[in-house]
Amino acid sequence: MVFSSINTAEGSALVKIGNTTVICGIKAELALPSSDAPDKGYIVPNVDLPPLCSSRFRPGPPGEQAQTASQFIADVIDSSNIIKKEDLCIEKSKLCWVLYCDIMCLDYDGNLLDACIITLLAALKNAQLPKVTINKETDLAEVELQHKRHLQIRCHPVASSFAVFDDTVIIVDPTAEEESLCRALLTAVTDEDDQLCALHKPGGISLSAEKLQDCISRAVTRNREISKLIDKVIQSTEMSK
């Protein structure tokens, strides 16, 4: 895991799980809040699977897997409340932040969702936004680049994927080959309070309640390990500055 790998972004992180490598850059822009949610900002995730990461992907518009991953991450952001969108509002009905979370796969060998969620969390923890105020006289935004602050991370979701071959054989952190051979895929997202944030199972064979609970328990354990790793890398990065 590497932080601040993109100098032009507000925050970034590169994560490698097995042979899968994913990078996430956070870009922030000022915008007008929507009329439906005047006191909230926006978080817009996008997953890109370019041909350079695997021969299975083709140039052109996003494929089904990339679109599914983008929607899954958007659902996790909403369900886990990783960042309260109210925190991104600068002034109600007038100004807010839009966080564009661009996630690109550099090397693909399965387990994409796990890598995307981890690199998103790491990039958000690395991101810093400048102080913004609205001038009462001109009614224009004034940005103070010398005064930056980290985002307030409310939750630490971590995804754990499982390849199901039958009710007795379940593989954690599957490779692309294992994903192509398995009979079902399952991704469980848990937070630091051992709560289930999201569950993704795109078809395949059914899973008994006992095995499902076993997968969720393993996901809870993995969340603690990944959270400790992220905090450790953040500390070492700050010490090296």
How far, in Å, CA of 145 to CA of 137, rounded?
Answer: 21
> Sorting pLDDT into bands at 50, 70 and 90, what band is 73?
very high
> Percent of the chain having pLDDT more than 90?
56
pLDDT digits (tens, 9 = 90+) for 100-141: 999 999 999 989 999 999 999 999 999 999 998 888 878 788
Beta bridge partners of 186: 162
What CATH number is given to the structural domain containing 133? Answer: 3.30.230.70
Instruction: Report the distance separating Cα 25 and Cα 195, nearest Å.
Output: 27
Beta partners for residue 29, in sequence order: 98
Task: Please tell me what DSSP assigns to residue 33.
Answer: P
Strands 42-48, 20-31: pairing is: unpaired
- Structural domain range at position 70: 2-239
Q: How many domains does the chain have?
A: 1
pLDDT at 186: 92
In degrees to the nearest 10, what's the CA dihedral of 50, 53, 58, 64? -70
Q: Is the per-residue pLDDT at 34 higher than 70? A: yes
Residues written for the chain: 241
Write the pLDDT tens digit of every residue in 151-189: 999 999 999 999 998 777 889 999 999 999 999 999 999
Look-up of token digits 């890598």: 115
pTM: 0.90
- Mean pLDDT, the chain, rounded, equals 90
Answer for the pair 18, 109: CB distance below 8 angstroms, yes or no: yes
- The pLDDT assigned to 240 comes to 66
